[in-house]
């Protein structure tokens, strides 16, 4: 929040205070996260990251080491840290198809568009790398929305 301070007209400088307000991480607030472990298949995008986080001394690609900086293991599940230090649970293809279906055609049948659906899914605390493209493709494939 920026607050301007009134200065006399003959004064050339203007001081602006800028403050950042944010909540502490879920981990530091002492909140419990209810997550269930998922079965990870061989072709799952999470495999290289999980392997690196569990066994950091084993040789791995530079790309995986850099990507792993944004992830952590929490109760056996892969979790992504956002810039705001919000934790998003990571899913594979089988799980995220179900999440998109529930979000798009769920109990309220809102039939959200692709980007809005992606925003909602992130707000619910879920993540996978191709979220935007998958949500747009899913909403384009919905017959009720066309």
pLDDT tens-digit profile of 7-55?
566 666 656 676 666 655 545 555 554 545 555 666 789 999 999 999 9
Ranges of each domain in the chain: 38-140
Cβ density class 14-45: b for 16+ within 10 Å, e for less: eeeeeeeeeeeebeeeeeeeeeeebeeeeebb
Q: Which CATH architecture has domain 38-140?
A: Orthogonal Bundle (1.10)
pLDDT tens-digit profile of 53-78?
999 888 889 999 999 999 999 988 99
**Total-model pTM:** 0.65
The tokens of 123 are what?
């707000």
């Amino acid at each position: 929040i920026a607050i301007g301070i009134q200065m006399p007209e003959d004064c050339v400088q203007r001081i602006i205070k800028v403050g950042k307000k944010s909540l502490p991480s879920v981990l530091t607030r002492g909140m419990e996260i209810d997550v269930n472990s998922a079965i990870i298949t061989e072709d799952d995008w999470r495999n290289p990251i999980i392997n690196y986080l569990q066994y950091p001394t084993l040789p791995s690609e530079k790309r995986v080491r850099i990507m792993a900086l944004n992830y952590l293991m929490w109760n056996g599940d892969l979790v992504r840290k956002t810039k705001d230090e919000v934790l998003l649970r990571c899913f594979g293809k089988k799980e995220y198809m179900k999440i998109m279906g529930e979000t798009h055609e769920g109990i309220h049948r809102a039939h959200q568009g692709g980007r809005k659906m992606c925003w909602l899914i992130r707000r619910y605390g879920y993540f996978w790398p191709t979220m935007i493209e998958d949500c747009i493709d899913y909403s384009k494939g919905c017959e009720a929305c066309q």
